[in-house]
Structure 1
Amino acid sequence: MKRILVTGSNGLLGQKLTDAILKNPEMELIATSIGADRYPGEGDYTYSELDVCNAENVKQVLHQFRPDVIIHTAAMTNVDICEIEKEKCWTLNVEAVKNLIHECELLDIHLIHISTDFIFDGENGPYTEDAEPHPLSYYGLTKLEGEKILQTAKCPWTILRTIIVYGIVNDMSRSNIVLWAKGALEKGDPINVVNDQWRMPTLAEDLADCCLLAAKSGATGIYNASGKDMMSIIELVEQVAEYWNLNKNLINEISSDSLNQAAKRPARTGFVLNKTIDELGYRPHSFKEGLAIVDKQLQSRINKK
């Protein structure tokens, strides 16, 4: 029985990890986040409040529960807000990692850390695990700094890099591109979508599965953990419109420059997934399969009401 502690358990990935761990008889879950537990389902697990930015709180919780593995999903991920609130971003994306590493080294805990394609500049995507990082934004810089610190840690560590995570859970604090596009088009709202950025969107369930594959196998090192389909952001939104039979005429193509966003985005990221598929047995869904899963979950929620 592996005892797994999840940080940020109230988030999208955190709740998908709760779903997955509760289905696994070989795993015990300690769910942690700031505030009350927002997981809507039933299950035999423990919830504890945890502020990963508070070193004393981290020490107390980790020494109390002594997990075998930590899956660290908590982070500041709004790229433009990170560019503006740099101190807060550094605290959550770098100092929190240091806090966790300190206790993981003392207690010999395997630390699995979620990172991002935004550590790259988008000049040479898709990227392998050993590609040279060059972040364009402060968010990307802090996530890379977190990686660097972890790579010198004296506890077992794994870095899972991912791209545009999408999905649906109850009581989400933030939306994601699939739900945003679907919601706006259903209301008949015109939307501006960039045509000069390429990504490999990741179903939250797939990323959760990858986390547990790493936890179960004890695999260490860096792994790419994204969806398998490369597409432009405009193609992504058009596929959302097609899947739900929404009006594509409401989608306005624009360039990234015209948005005047605080943070610069990489043009073309994407990942080579061969290592993760071969070593961990990772099997991501196609984007269309992912949309079907989201649709089924949305239908289930409607039926429950």
Structure 2
Amino acid sequence: MKRILVTGSNGLLGQKITEKVLAEGRVNLIATSIGINRYPFKKGYEYAEMDILNPEQVKAVIEKHRPDAVIHTAAMTNVDTSEANKALCHRLNVDAVATLLSICEGKNIQLIHLSTDFVFDGKNGPYKEDDAVNPVNYYGKSKVMAEELIKNSKANYAILRTILVYGISYDMSRSNIVLWAKGALEKALPINVVNDQWRMPTLAEDLAEACLLAVEHDARGIYHISGKDYMTIAGLVRKVADYWKLDQSFINEISSASLNQTAKRPVKTGFVLDKAIKDLGYNPHSFEEGLLILEQQMKG
């Protein structure tokens, strides 16, 4: 079995990869993150503290554990924070990738790198892998810079771009659109939701599966990984309300322009998934199936 090292294992995607490995075997896992392991089950894999901003520590951990592949999930993903703190965003999303690349190149380690639909300007989605990138905010720019570093390296790499990931993790440091909408509507709180941005929301379990498939297939190049359903953000929130039978009168649909967000968002992203389906056997759940999975997890 291949040995894989995951960065950012305390995050939503990192935890879902751990969960899959524990349930299915398939690979030997070394989970790494900054600080202590927040995943409640500690057996069946190894854990190492690793700060991706500390090149010496990254090198030492990878040299000690000698993985066949690194799945790099750690990043700054908050779009407005990235815009407000470009220097830290660059360190986390670009410099850390350069560190990993230099190690993976020299040791023939496959690098699976997570990227985003925000590399596109949103003028003509859904996008294919070879469509031209043109980010409209600094988060997207940082991810394009990382992609360029990887593409120009000698590393064996796969870049997995994804969209609006949702799911439930342990000790969550941040929420996501589905849980936020459900939580607010259950408390009968009015929420403003944009109705002019289109996305294909991605179940975290599906993205974790794609990461493992990329390792197993020794994937090379760029792959688009998301859910299969195309909807507006407002449409997404209404589907959440429908599913849990919550009052939709608290949903206030607004335009992006009226939101006053720090960073601009692309209007219509979305992905053409044909390449991932054909090359990797990727088979995502529908949005409703994703909500059912979340409901079952909430019931425990």
Residue 129 of structure 1 corresponds to 129
Residue 40, structure 1, aligned to residue 40, structure 2: yes
Query: Is residue 100 from structure 1 mapped to residue 120 from structure 2 by the alignment?
Result: no
Structure 2: how far apart are the matches of 1:9 and 1:24?
17
Higher alpha-carbon deviation: 129-138 or 48-57: 48-57
The 5 A counterparts of 1:1-305 are 1-300=1-300
SS in 2 for 1:159: strand
Matched to 1:57, the amino acid is: Q
User: 1:42 deviation in Å?
Assistant: 4.5
CA distance in 2: counterparts of 1:42 and 1:293, whole angstroms: 23
Distance (Å, rounded) in 2 between the aligned partners of 1:185 and 1:76: 28
Quick one: which amino acid aligns to residue 30 of structure 1? I
Gaps of 5+ in 1: 301-305
Aligned Cα RMSD in Å?
0.7
Secondary structure at 1:148's aligned position in 2? Answer: helix
Q: Distance in 1 between matches of 2:255 and 2:226?
A: 24
Write out per-residue CA displacement over residues 66-122 of structure 1, whole angstroms, 9 at most, x where no aligned residue.
100000000000000100011000000000000000100111100000000000000
Cα distance in 2 between the residues matched to 1:215 and 1:24: 15
Count residues in correspondence.
300
How far off its partner does 1:234 sit?
Answer: 0.4
Look up the equivalent residue of 1:239 and give its one-letter code. Answer: K
Give 1:152 shift. Answer: 1.3
After the TM superposition, which of the residue ranges 176-185 and 51-60 deviates more from structure 2?
A: 51-60
CA-to-aligned-CA distance 1:222-253 (integer Å, 9 cap, x gap): 00000000000000000000000101000001
The residue type paired with residue 22 of structure 1 is L
> Which deviates more from structure 2 when the two are superposed, residues 24-33 or residues 81-90?
24-33
Superposed CA deviations along residues 42-77 of structure 1, whole A, max 9, x for unmatched, are 531110011111111111111111100000000000
1:169 alignment partner, SS class: coil
**Cα distance, 1:26 vs. partner?**
3.3
How many Å separate the matches in 2 of 1:206 and 1:257? 32
Partners of 2:146 and 2:207 in 1: CA distance: 19
Kindly state the Cα deviation for residue 25 of structure 1 after the two structures are TM-superposed.
2.9
Per the alignment, in what secondary structure is the counterpart of residue 23 of structure 1? helix
* 3-state SS of paired residue (2:209): helix
Distance of aligned partners of 1:210 and 1:197 in 2 relative to their CA distance in 1, 3 Å threshold: same
% identical aligned pairs: 61
For residues 190 and 279 of structure 1, the distance between their equivalents in structure 2, rounded to whole angstroms, comes to 44
Alignment partners' CA distance in 2, 1:37 and 1:298: 22
The DSSP-based 3-state class of the residue aligned with 2:24 is coil
Shift of residue 24, structure 1, vs aligned partner: 3.2
For 1:112, what is the secondary structure of its paired residue?
strand
Residues in 2 aligned to 1:38 and 1:83: alpha-carbon distance in whole angstroms = 28
Match for residue 303 of structure 1? none
Q: Point out the more displaced range, 200-209 or 35-44.
A: 35-44
